[in-house]
Structures are given as C-alpha cells and as structure tokens.
Structure 1
Amino acid sequence: MSKPFDMELFLAAVLTGSHATRQRHIRQAKIIQAEISERWHRQTPWAWQKKHVDWFLEHRLNRRREATRYYYLLTARLLARRLQKTWVFKARLAAIAR
C-alpha cells in the first residue's frame, strides 16, 4: 500500500507569506489534486499536464466568484513553479490577475 501524496511537503519549497496564505494554497492545491485525480486518474502533480490544470481552472471554477478564481490561479502558478514548468494560463484567467 502506498502512502498518500503529501501536498504540503511538495509545496514547501515555493510557499511564502503568512501562515494563513500558506494554508490557503495547500488547501486549494489539495482540492485541485483531488479533482484532477478523480477526472484523469493522475494522482500526483508530477503526472499532470497543463491541460489538466486548465481544465480545473476553466470548468471546475466557472461558476465561482472572480476573487475565488484569482486565488486558485495563484495556487496553480505555485504548482507550476514547483514543477519547474513554464505554463501560462489562458487569457481569461490572466486578465483576472491584473
């Protein structure tokens, strides 16, 4: 039996800011992980492709408030930074970040 993936340990290298901010990123990353795992059966971020994160941001957050989508976008950027990927997310979400 394998151990569950530790998202907190995975993000530890890129997390900065207050305790509340770090906890929010960890909580949101776990939600992203659970949704991608359920949809594509990709258990860890190492197995993800950009399309998986795009899907989450576009389809799972489409009825959420703009502020919520923005905070998830920040978490997605942290995940990409930790994976050392140069992912750029779609313009609709990027416009929120301004």
Structure 2
Amino acid sequence: MNKPFDMELFLAGVMTGSPTTQQRHLRQARIIQAEIARRWERATPWTWQRKHLAWFLYQYLAPHSEATRWYYVLTARLLTRRLQKPWIFHS
C-alpha cells in the first residue's frame, strides 16, 4: 500500500514567511505536483528533472498573468532548494 506524497512535510524545512505565504506555497506546490504527475507521470518531486518544472512554469502557466507566474516561480525556487538542485528559474 502506497501512502500519498505529503507535500507539506516535504517543504516544511524550507518554508519561511507568514502563515498565509506558507499556505500559498503549499497550495501551489500541490498544483505543480498534480500537473507534473498528470503530464509526465512523475508522482513525487524526487523524480522530477528540471524540464518538468520548466514545462510547468513556461508552458502550462503561459496563459496566466505575469503576477501568477511570478508567484509560481517563487514556489518552484522553494522546491528546488528542498531538492538541493542548482536549477534556476526566471519569471
């Protein structure tokens, strides 16, 4: 039996800021995870490559506003920090 991936536990060590900001990052990280799992069949961030996050930020979010994309870039940077990867994303 597989347990669902706990994004809150995954990001707990790198999240800072107000509770509202932390909730936004958590909500966005879950959305990123769900879309990457749907598109690439990669269920957890440990299996992601840079191209998966880049696809989400630059292709999936293309129709969204610049402000929305910026907030998702901030969340992607948190995910990258937690994964200890040197990936850099720009808005």
| TM-score, normalisation: structure 2 | 0.98
Which amino acid is the alignment partner of residue 37 of structure 2? Answer: S
Question: 2: distance between equivalents of 1:83 and 1:74?
Answer: 14
**Matching residue of 2:64:** 64
Structure 1: give runs of 5+ residues left out of the alignment: none
Structure 1 runs, 4 residues or longer, greater than 6 Å off: none
Shift of 1:68: 0.3
Aligned length: 91
What is the root-mean-square deviation in Å for CA atoms of aligned residues?
A: 0.6
Which amino acid is the alignment partner of residue 43 of structure 2? Answer: Q
**Matching residue of 2:73:** 73
| Secondary structure of the corresponding residue to residue 15 of structure 2 | coil
**C-alpha offsets along residues 61-85 of structure 1, whole Å, 9 cap, x if unaligned?**
0010110000000000000000000
Structure 2: give runs of 5+ residues left out of the alignment: none
Sequence identity percentage: 67
| TM-score, normalisation: structure 1 | 0.91
Shift of 1:55: 0.2
Which amino acid is the alignment partner of residue 14 of structure 1? Answer: V
